[in-house]
């Protein structure tokens, strides 16, 4: 693979986390924009978000990672318009032969029909319910959800089946679905993590250009909490020498908004996201880029990222130990719990369908 990935002449970017379309790891070649010598002015155009539709063949993805508290998840969308510069999900776009850079946040895939596929999977005789996680790869409540409503359909299926779900988001559209989520939460079937990385509005706009502001995300926590939904404030990623000094303040703000749980994970830079984040950091914060990356490598055994189970989510070394100790002390002081509440799986039951034989009792 060759280096490259610059955007085409005439293309303009506004509120994007990446300004490069560097090829993914599966591509044999990369494309580089250059002056061809023709004296023809390029059309000046803004890079817009494109949404393609995919007919899903399956809904539930399974994993066997010992680092994750769930073994199954659902992804209503591929790619994420929030455009967070550090997003660990960016490398997943390489599987679509698209760039984990600008393509990840501008060339999205929506999966209409996934709710019907999910219902079919839940009806299989061999299926055994355990908590399904949604939003652990790309955000199910990113802006395109307002137009497509796929997450709402998925939630309706899970509600009908009395299936436990754990949602992670930073999107405001989740407030539209409070009626469904609150009803499930009342039965011990739903909980939500809201991601807040910083309280600094200016920094957030640079890191997460199309995500709601920190203040708005705290309002989401309050709305969910007031509806009786268990909420965790997810302070992730915690970026050394950039946001780590805010750990206690963000946790306090989450507590004040009604969160009952809190967690934090240090910055992870798997696959292509390492190069993309370094480029963003050197462009946006050239004065501290070396310091940030030095501490990141300290966290991951001298590398930009160590994918080893057991340490990849926590980091290693003195700084990692210090951060986790600070988080533990802040949680204890505020009366917050780590992790998430245990959700019920014993209520799971497929609803009756047309043509089903009725039971005698």
Asked if pLDDT for residue 315 goes beyond 50, the answer is yes
Asked if pLDDT for residue 41 goes beyond 90, the answer is no
The residue behind tokens 């779900």 is 165
Residues 6+ apart with CB under 8 A from 81: 49, 105, 106, 108, 142, 143, 144, 210
Least confident of 102-116, 240-254, 311-325, 329-343: 311-325
Residue 15 has a pLDDT of 66
In a domain, 319, yes or no: yes
Among 13-17, 49-53, 61-65, 73-77, the range with the most confident prediction by mean pLDDT is 73-77
Rg of the chain over all Cα atoms, to the nearest angstrom: 21
Residue 310 has a pLDDT of 84
Q: What does the alpha-carbon distance between residue 336 and residue 334 come to, in Å, rounded to a whole number?
A: 6
Q: What does the alpha-carbon distance between residue 33 and residue 22 come to, in Å, rounded to a whole number?
A: 11
Q: The domain that contains 294 carries what CATH number?
A: 3.20.20.70
The residue behind tokens 């507590």 is 255
For 177, the 3-state DSSP assignment is: helix
Q: What does the alpha-carbon distance between residue 110 and residue 34 come to, in Å, rounded to a whole number?
A: 33
Give pLDDT tens digits for 200-209.
Answer: 999 999 999 9
In a domain, 343, yes or no: no
Peptide bond into 108 cis (omega under 30): no
Q: What does the alpha-carbon distance between residue 201 and residue 115 come to, in Å, rounded to a whole number?
A: 36
Give pLDDT tens digits for 218-265.
Answer: 999 999 999 999 999 999 999 999 999 999 999 999 999 999 999 999
| End-to-end alpha carbon distance in the chain | 65
Asked if pLDDT for residue 12 goes beyond 80, the answer is no
What are the structure tokens assigned to 27, written together? 């591509």
Percentage of the chain modeled with pLDDT above 90:
75
Residue 1 has a pLDDT of 31
- 312 versus 267: the higher-pLDDT residue is 267
Residue 246 has a pLDDT of 98
Residue 339 has a pLDDT of 86
Asked if pLDDT for residue 13 goes beyond 90, the answer is no
In a domain, 350, yes or no: no
Residue 2 has a pLDDT of 34
Give pLDDT tens digits for 149-167.
Answer: 999 999 999 999 999 999 9
In a domain, 358, yes or no: no
In order, the DSSP letters of 216-285 are HHHHHHHHHHHTT--EEEEEEEE-TTTTGGGHHHHHHHHHHHT--EEEEEE----TTHHHHHHHHHHHH-
Asked if pLDDT for residue 99 goes beyond 50, the answer is yes
Q: Which of 201, 246, 250 is nearest to 221 (CA)?
A: 250
Residue 326 has a pLDDT of 97
Q: How far lies 135's CA from each of 8, 24, 78, 151, 270, in Å? A: 32, 22, 11, 10, 18
Contact (Cβ atoms closer than 8 angstroms) between residue 97 and residue 24: yes
- 82 versus 40: the higher-pLDDT residue is 82
Asked if pLDDT for residue 9 goes beyond 90, the answer is no
- What are the two backbone dihedrals, phi and then psi, of residue 101, each rounded to the nearest 5 degrees? -85, -115
Range of the domain at 310: 11-32+45-334
Asked if pLDDT for residue 10 goes beyond 70, the answer is no
Number of alpha carbons in the 13 Å side-chain half-sphere of residue 273: 19
Q: What does the alpha-carbon distance between residue 341 and residue 322 come to, in Å, rounded to a whole number?
A: 25
Region 191-204 average pLDDT: 97
Least confident of 5-14, 88-97, 177-186, 239-248: 5-14
For 65, the 3-state DSSP assignment is: coil
Contact (Cβ atoms closer than 8 angstroms) between residue 47 and residue 13: yes
Domain count along the chain: 1
In a domain, 179, yes or no: yes
Q: What does the alpha-carbon distance between residue 22 and residue 103 come to, in Å, rounded to a whole number?
A: 9
Residue 3 has a pLDDT of 42
Contact (Cβ atoms closer than 8 angstroms) between residue 225 and residue 255: no
In a domain, 39, yes or no: no
In a domain, 360, yes or no: no
DSSP state of 20: B
112 — pLDDT class (breaks 50, 70, 90): very high
* Mean pLDDT rounded to a whole number for the chain: 89
Asked if pLDDT for residue 123 goes beyond 90, the answer is yes
Contact (Cβ atoms closer than 8 angstroms) between residue 42 and residue 10: yes
Residue 43 has a pLDDT of 52
Helices (H), the chain: 102-106, 114-122, 145-148, 150-160, 178-185, 201-207, 214-226, 247-257, 273-284, 289-299, 318-334
299 — pLDDT class (breaks 50, 70, 90): very high
Region 262-272 average pLDDT: 94
Contact (Cβ atoms closer than 8 angstroms) between residue 24 and residue 91: yes
Residue 49 has a pLDDT of 86
Mutual angle of helices 289-299 and 273-284, in 10-degree steps? 150
In a domain, 344, yes or no: no
């Amino acid at each position: 693979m060759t280096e490259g990935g610059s955007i085409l002449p005439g293309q303009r970017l506004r509120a994007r986390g990446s300004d490069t379309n560097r090829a993914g790891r599966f591509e044999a070649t990369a494309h580089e924009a250059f002056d061809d010598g023709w004296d023809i002015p390029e059309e000046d155009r803004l890079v817009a978000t494109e949404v393609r539709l995919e007919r899903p063949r399956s809904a539930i993805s399974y994993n066997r990672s010992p680092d994750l508290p769930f073994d199954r998840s659902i992804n209503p969308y591929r790619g994420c318009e929030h455009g967070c510069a550090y997003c660990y999900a960016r490398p997943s776009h390489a599987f679509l032969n698209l760039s984990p850079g600008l393509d990840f946040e501008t060339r999205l895939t929506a999966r209409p029909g996934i709710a019907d596929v999910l219902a079919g999977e839940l009806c299989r005789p061999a299926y055994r319910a355990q908590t399904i996680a949604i939003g652990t790869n790309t955000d199910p409540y990113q802006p395109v959800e307002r137009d497509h409503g796929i997450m709402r359909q998925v939630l309706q299926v899970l509600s009908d089946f009395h299936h436990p779900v754990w949602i992670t988001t930073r999107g405001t559209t989740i407030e539209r679905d409070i009626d469904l989520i609150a009803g499930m939460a009342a039965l011990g079937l739903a909980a939500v993590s809201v991601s807040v990385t910083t309280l600094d509005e200016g920094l957030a706009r640079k890191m997460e250009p199309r995500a709601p502001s920190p203040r708005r995300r705290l309002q989401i926590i309050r709305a969910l909490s007031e509806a009786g939904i268990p909420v965790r404030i997810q302070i992730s990623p915690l970026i050394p020498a950039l946001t780590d000094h805010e750990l206690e303040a963000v946790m306090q703000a989450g507590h004040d908004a009604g969160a009952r749980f809190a967690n934090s994970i240090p910055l992870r830079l798997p696959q292509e996201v390492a190069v993309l984040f370094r480029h963003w950091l050197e462009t946006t914060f050239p004065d501290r880029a070396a310091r940030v990356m030095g501490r990141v490598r300290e966290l991951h055994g001298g590398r930009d990222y160590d994918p080893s189970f057991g340490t990849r989510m926590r980091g290693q070394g003195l700084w990692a130990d210090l951060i986790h100790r600070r988080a533990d002390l802040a949680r204890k002081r505020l009366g917050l719990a780590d992790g998430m509440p245990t959700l019920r799986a014993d209520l799971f039951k497929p609803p009756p369908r047309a043509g089903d034989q009725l039971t005698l009792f």
